[in-house]
């Protein structure tokens, strides 16, 4: 392992302030981008910070067969964080419909919040398209959110979204009527 990878791996052991807190339930982490191959330092950091992650970009076909149950215990109190590199139109290689199909294969049926940890995904209409695709695929959720600008990780201490902090995330209401007091998920 080279020196830069060691630094990222070590940084992942130092917690971001409140980054893992979700007082309503648990947080499940999904990688929708091939960080392992395309961004090894980021992958090393994420792997050290989140011990249990679902990686949707495995090259083997058997991956779905072996992990189809991964999200079956997620409830409307939980949050699913989806990490990827993105722009206004794509989340990694995913369209909203493809992502909804893959998450459905992983047994995601109902979740409180789907939070995209991906630059610019909240800009434009990607989240609205994802809302329709997820509901059509049979995935019920209360809220969906994504950053409207670039996400900056100053590892290991600070994570923020560039731009106006009051409009850093776009939030879209889902088809479950639920409030999460003290968060941005109270529409």
On whether residue 187 sits in a domain, the answer given is no
Please tell me the distance from the alpha carbon of residue 139 to that of residue 29, in angstroms, as a whole number.
Answer: 17
In the 8-state DSSP scheme, what is residue 183? S
167 Ramachandran zone, left/alpha/beta (phi>0; psi -120 to 50): alpha
pLDDT band at 176, cuts 50/70/90? very high
pLDDT tens digit string along 80-92? Answer: 999 999 999 999 8
**Residue 7, pLDDT score:** 57
On whether residue 7 sits in a domain, the answer given is yes
Find the distance separating the first CA and the last CA of the chain, reported in whole Å: 46
Q: Residue 157 maps to which CATH number? A: 3.40.50
Angle at 69 between CA 34 and CA 26, to 5 degrees: 80
pTM of the full structure: 0.83
On whether residue 185 sits in a domain, the answer given is no
On whether residue 181 sits in a domain, the answer given is no
Q: How many structural domains comprise the chain?
A: 1
Instruction: Collapse the DSSP code of 143 into the 3-class scheme (helix H, G, I; strand E, B; otherwise coil) and give the result.
Output: strand
Instruction: Collapse the DSSP code of 63 into the 3-class scheme (helix H, G, I; strand E, B; otherwise coil) and give the result.
Output: helix
Q: What is the residue range of 16's domain?
A: 3-173
């Amino acid at each position: 392992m080279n020196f830069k990878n060691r630094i990222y791996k070590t940084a992942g052991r130092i917690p971001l302030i409140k980054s893992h807190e979700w007082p309503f339930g648990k947080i499940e982490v999904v990688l929708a981008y091939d960080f392992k191959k395309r961004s090894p330092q980021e992958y090393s950091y994420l792997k050290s910070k989140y011990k249990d992650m679902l990686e949707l970009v495995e090259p083997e076909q058997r991956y779905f067969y072996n992990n189809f149950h991964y999200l079956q215990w997620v409830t409307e109190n939980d949050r699913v964080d989806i990490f990827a590199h993105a722009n206004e139109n794509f989340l990694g290689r995913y369209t909203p419909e493809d992502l909804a199909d893959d998450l459905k294969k992983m047994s995601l049926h109902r979740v409180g919040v789907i939070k995209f940890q991906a630059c610019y995904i909240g800009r434009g209409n990607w989240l609205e398209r994802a809302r329709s695709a997820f509901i059509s695929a049979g995935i019920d959720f209360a809220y969906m959110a994504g950053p409207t600008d670039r996400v900056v990780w100053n590892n290991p201490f600070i994570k923020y979204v560039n731009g106006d902090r009051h409009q850093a995330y776009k939030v879209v209401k889902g088809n479950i009527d639920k409030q999460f007091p003290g968060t941005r998920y109270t529409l």
